[in-house]
Amino acid sequence: MAAIENTSAAKPAATRPNWLVRDLVGLAVILAVAAIGYFLFPNNLALLTRILGVALLVLSIDLVTGFCGVATLGHAALFGAGAYASGIAAVHFGITDPLLMVVVGAIGGALAGIVSGAVILRGHGLAQLVLSIAVVHLFHEAANKASAYTGGSDGLSGISPDPIFGMFAFDLWGRTAYGFAVALVAIAFVVLRLITRSPFGMLCRGIKEDPIRIRAMGASVQGTLLKMYVISGAVAGVGGALNAISTQVVGLDSLSFTLSAEALVMLVLGGTGSLYGALIGTVSFMWFEDFVSAANPFHWLTIVGALLIAVVLFAPRGLYGSAQTLLDRFRGDGK
């Protein structure tokens, strides 16, 4: 008995550094891959920056879909809300400090998260999916109609952000923008890892696995999900703001159903519920799309489609999830 008590008391001390170390390794890998990208594709930094902006959107979908089990095909509404919020702040209100623009984007995304969450969470399953599609169309239409602010279908242009900290100006090659993007994604990743492991994160996982049990424990399912939607909106909004800052325009495509659907595909490709899968899925999908569309401009969509079918059929848990399963099996055999 005493021996059992000893091991169970020692456990937390042993497991805690374990996940801390793992997250630090994860962060180091992200930064290393970012650095490799910088040196391998110095003429393609604009694409890499765009990938990182979308990666924030895909991370934010992972929060509600991977961790809470909410299906959505309308998450670009939150991304686009962030992009327009920071773009409008810059063009119409003279808020051109990039850090402030990111904050405005996060707030815009969070507000959009409250609105769309309040609608989408009323439904379940298929109804939820349909509501999410309706929401992104409504956001799209609203941005189109409010052309005095958004530039309508011409897009919102004339965004010229100040240098970061007054020192690092956004250059023609996109070096500053890339560094800024890497920093935002790295910070978001660390913060989200902490959130998903927090008491609140545990509650979300519980809701995904059995909402009836969660209610029987006295917790509110709707309130918790809405809160996650707000956090998710802030993350997507940061992605949108990053996109506005780095490209200096915001178009209606940032609020589109197409972007929503593609982002969900990227998440499924990488694997849900780990955050790593979201990053891996975004990078592989967008890199592959860019590579294939350049190599074969006529059939690239067919090739991307075929790749997706292959992944969903042969690696249903996504690239990261399947790799992890393989690794676990390998380790299990080794024992």
Partner 1 sequence: MSAVFQVENLKKSFGGLAVTQDVSITMNPGDRVALIGPNGAGKTTFVNLVTGHLEPDSGKVMLGGNDVTSLGPTPRVRQGLVRSFQVTRLFPDMTPEEHLALAVMQRTGRTGRIFGHYHSMPDVMAEVAELLRTLGLDHIATRKVSEIAYGQQRLLEIALALALKPKVLLLDEPAAGVPQSDTPRIEAALAGLPSDLAVLMIEHDMDLVFRFAKRVIVLAAGAIIFDGSPEDVTKDARVREAYLGSYANDRSAA
> Whole-number minimum distance, CB 222 to partner 1, in Å?
10
Taking CB under 8 A as the rule, does residue 152 contact partner 1?
no
Taking CB under 8 A as the rule, does residue 4 contact partner 1?
yes
Number of residues that bind partner 1 (CB under 8 A): 33
| Dihedral-angle region of residue 137 (phi above 0 means left; psi in -120 to 50 means alpha; beta otherwise) | alpha
Taking CB under 8 A as the rule, does residue 2 contact partner 1?
no
Buried b (16+ CB within 10 A) or exposed e, 128-150: bbebbbbbbbbbbeebeeeeeeb
In this structure, are residues 95 and 253 in contact, taking their beta carbons and an 8 Å threshold?
no
Q: Which residues pair with 156 in a beta bridge?
A: 250
Taking CB under 8 A as the rule, does residue 153 contact partner 1?
no
Taking CB under 8 A as the rule, does residue 16 contact partner 1?
yes
Which of 126, 148, 167, 212 contacts partner 1 by CB under 8 A?
212
> Whole-number minimum distance, CB 309 to partner 1, in Å?
28
Which of 154, 171, 210, 328 contacts partner 1 by CB under 8 A?
210
Taking CB under 8 A as the rule, does residue 217 contact partner 1?
yes
In this structure, are residues 101 and 90 in contact, taking their beta carbons and an 8 Å threshold?
yes
Taking CB under 8 A as the rule, does residue 302 contact partner 1?
no
In this structure, are residues 278 and 59 in contact, taking their beta carbons and an 8 Å threshold?
yes
Q: How many CB atoms lie within 10 A of CB 115?
A: 17
Which of 215, 296, 302, 309 contacts partner 1 by CB under 8 A?
215
Determine the distance from the C-alpha atom of residue 15 to the mean position of all C-alpha atoms in its chain, rounded to a whole number.
28
In this structure, are residues 266 and 250 in contact, taking their beta carbons and an 8 Å threshold?
no
Taking CB under 8 A as the rule, does residue 201 contact partner 1?
yes
- Cα angle, residue 305 at apex, residues 52 and 299 outer, rounded to 5°: 100
Q: Residue 168: what are its φ and ψ, rounded to 5°?
A: -100, 100
Which of 118, 141, 173, 200 contacts partner 1 by CB under 8 A?
200
CB nearer partner 1, residue 175 or residue 205: 205
Which of 26, 123, 163, 206 contacts partner 1 by CB under 8 A?
206
In this structure, are residues 113 and 234 in contact, taking their beta carbons and an 8 Å threshold?
yes
Taking CB under 8 A as the rule, does residue 205 contact partner 1?
yes
* Torsion of Cα atoms, 280 then 171 then 76 then 231, to 10°: 80
Handedness of CA 86, 90, 93, 98 (dihedral sign): positive
> Whole-number minimum distance, CB 54 to partner 1, in Å?
24
CB nearer partner 1, residue 305 or residue 316: 316
Which of 9, 126, 167, 313 contacts partner 1 by CB under 8 A?
9
Taking CB under 8 A as the rule, does residue 209 contact partner 1?
yes
Taking CB under 8 A as the rule, does residue 172 contact partner 1?
no
Q: How far apart are the first and last CA of the chain?
A: 27
> Residues in the site for partner 1, rule: CB under 8 A?
4-5, 8-9, 11-12, 15-16, 194-195, 197-203, 205-206, 209-210, 212-213, 215-221, 224, 227, 231
